[in-house]
Chain A
Amino acid sequence: MKKGERIIAIVLIMFCGLYFYLSRNFLPESKFFPRIMIISLFILSVTLLLNTYRRGKKLQSTEIQNKIILPRLFGAIAISFIYMSLIQIIGFYVMTALFLLIIMYFLGIRNLNILLTVPIISTLFLYVGFRIFLQIPTPRGIFF
């Protein structure tokens, strides 16, 4: 936990530095509020960083847990990102069905009935509910 908080604190400090630099060309009235927020956030982030050194002599490790969880999580994030990137190219409904199939298989579902029926039924439900009934626009691509 402490290691993660330390990384978060450092990232936030860098974030403050970046925003402070970007705000240098703003008008004085536009600069006022963001600068107060940047300085406040910087002070709080430094406090967080110092707190991780103050109490944490041992950095908690969750290596065994991470070996199981992180690949599953990162894999799901990667599949989701690819899905979002391709919906405008391929088409929302086709990609949604494929996304469901691939991610459910990746997460461990092996039942063929579920792998086939859930994507088909869900996509059908989304089409009827969103496109026909609510007339909500969805990304269009090469396919449907």
Chain B
Amino acid sequence: MFSLILIGINNVFHLNNLIFIILGTVLGILIGAAPGLTATMGVALLIPITFKMDPSAGLCMLGAIYCGAIYGGSISAILIHTPGTSASVATMWDGYELTKKGLPGKALGISTISSFFGGEFSALCLLLIAPPLAMFSLRFGPPERFLLAVFGLTIIITLSSKSLLKGLISGFFGLLITTTGMQLVTGDIRFTFNQTSLISGIPLIPALIGLFSISEALILIETKKAKIQRVKTNIKDRILPTLKDFKRIQTTILSSSIIGTIVGIIPGAGTSIGSYVSYDQAKRVSKNPEQFGKGTIVGIAASEAGNNAVTGGSLIPLLTLSIPGNAVSAVFLGGLLIHGLVPGPELFTNYGPITYTLMVSLFLSNLCLLIFGLAGAKIFCKVVKAPADILAPLIIILGTIGSYSLTNDIFHVYLMFVFGLIGYIMRKYDFPAVPIVLAIVLGPIAESELLRTLLLFKGKMYTILMRPICIILIGLIILSFVTSFMQIRKDKKKTI
């Protein structure tokens, strides 16, 4: 492992990878800062662009975009009271208050420092936890992999906190459409409607781009007032936090980083949960809780350290067990797959140099985030003025080129557009889109491993109860159901 870390460090400082890490961080910050664009959408849109790149460079760039976008959301949250991403809502509560007091620079500085430390902490956890966890997964056979896929699919319920019914509909719709194409075990061709482009199934990348990016473009187009409100870009106060301010927030940063990393590891819990839980915890332990929501730097630090700490944490279950930690990592999985990389132990052995380069690159991405965030705050805040009437068509164009470039098949562009319309309708009627992504990714795994299990045990499924890992996974699935149902009932009682 140590030698692979050294290889990763060496690779990261190759000029090619360095350029893409810097470019990815800057792009990510721009995407996060622009209201209406999300980290999920940005990663989905840019995955096809990495196809022609060296896998290390491509994945490093995607990781950098992820880190940058989660941080970037705080810029518009602080300056114009509009979170660039959902992970920055808690940042907005105190960040904008500071802007109203004439201290936007201070808020941005605290946000940047906190994001940096949160991101670095979770990158360290990824580096230490992922490899041994991946080796443990070598013990997984078809029944374990089937149950793991089912466990991953139960995330659909945790992601459906608004409406369980709609979340399940999205999930089962996704599972059904993933049966399109050639069944890998039997060779039977299903639901292709005589389209040869569908024989290998519903392509993941056009579906991702459609569901997240094109739907977003349509939402932007729908907004009658296309111009984002003007923002005062004169940041006159000091951006770099003072030593006194840093001492005030250091404990909060540490605790929020731990919380965010743990939240990231839990499948289904996203950056926004990392942010809220960290903010809430900081408020609980604070000597001055009444200051929260009025411009306290502790609130900003908690939220930003918490949300950026989710980034590395969410990649742990993804890289080791193929279970996305959140929506962005679900999309990130697409980035792995187009380079022929399958999550699991092989990623840390045969493809170890690539994987360790990715993990080490996150340290550098967060460092770039710190540098660009502090030095470029006055420039990035101009992005929040970008009009939707120009952004939306550009998203459509990037989506078109992204969907076409993977297979040179114009059918994929049409498919992307169809998924875009589906994604738009889903968003209008509060159907979550992430369950479809999870279903597209995990559905084929669940089906093929189920068939393999049935063949292995000659139809006697009860024999999986004699396997200890299967028992643990069944327990986790039941626990996931129970806690999700309890949370949904609790949320419903609150609204009543």
- B residues 38-65 near A (Cβ < 8 Å) are 48-49, 51-53
Q: Contact: B393 with A84, CB < 8 Å?
A: no
Known contacts A40-B172, A41-B173, A130-B401: A1-B429 contact under CB 8 Å? yes
Q: Contact check, A73 vs B397: say whether CB atoms are below 8 A apart.
A: no
Answer whether residue B191 sits at the interface, using C-beta atoms and an 8 A cutoff: yes
The segment out of B221-229, B281-289, B468-476 that lies at the interface is B221-229
A63-87 vs B, CB cutoff 8 Å, 1 = contact: the mask equals 0000011001100110011011001
The chain B residue with its CB closest to the CB of A75 is: B221
State the total of A-B contacts with C-beta under 8 angstroms. 133
The reply to whether A84 and B414 contact each other, CB–CB distance below 8 Å, is yes
Whole-angstrom CA separation of A67 from B405 in the bound complex:
37
Distance in Å: Cβ of B435 to nearest Cβ of chain A: 12
Main secondary structure of the interface of B (DSSP, over half): helix
Q: Which residues on A sit within 8 Å (CB–CB) of B387? A: 109
Q: Does B413 contact A (CB under 8 A)?
A: yes
Sorting the interface of chain B by its residue count into under 10, 10 to 19, 20 to 34 or 35 or more gives: 35 or more
Q: Answer whether residue B74 sits at the interface, using C-beta atoms and an 8 A cutoff.
A: no
Tell me whether A100 and B393 are in contact (CB under 8 A).
yes
B432-471 vs A, CB cutoff 8 Å, 1 = contact: the mask equals 0000000000000001001100000000000000000000
Nearest CB in chain B: distance from A130 CB, A = 6
Chain B residue with Cβ nearest A2: B429
Min CB distance, A75 to chain B, in Å?
9
A4 near B: Cβ within 8 Å? yes
| Cα–Cα, bound, A83→B393 (Å) | 11
A 22-64 contacts with B by CB, 8 A: 22-23, 26-27, 29-30, 33-34, 37-38, 40-41, 44-45, 47-48, 51
A87 and B176 form a contact (CB under 8 A): no
Contacts of B346 in A (CB 8 A): none
Asked if B168 is at the interface (CB within 8 A of a chain A CB), the reply is: yes
Q: How far is the CB of A35 from chain B (nearest CB, A)?
A: 10
Quick check: is B396 within 8 A (CB to CB) of the other chain?
yes
A8 lies within 8 A of B425 (CB): yes
> When the two chains form their complex, are residues B190 and A34 in contact, meaning their CB atoms are under 8 A apart?
yes
Answer whether A137 and B405 are a contact pair too, CB < 8 Å, given A12-B169, A73-B218, A108-B389. yes
- The answer, among B176, B218, B389, for a CB contact under 8 Å with A77, is B218
Residues in A whose Cβ lies below 8 Å from that of B188: 26-27, 29-30
Our pick among B169, B390, B413, B421 for the contact of A84 (Cβ within 8 Å) is B413
If A8-B425, A130-B405, A134-B52 are given as contacts, then 5 extra A-B residue pairs at C-beta distance below 8 Å, sorted by A number, are A72-B222, A73-B218, A73-B222, A138-B404, A139-B404
The 7 A-B pairs of least Cβ separation, nearest first, read A30-B188, A37-B176, A107-B389, A41-B172, A34-B179, A136-B405, A33-B447
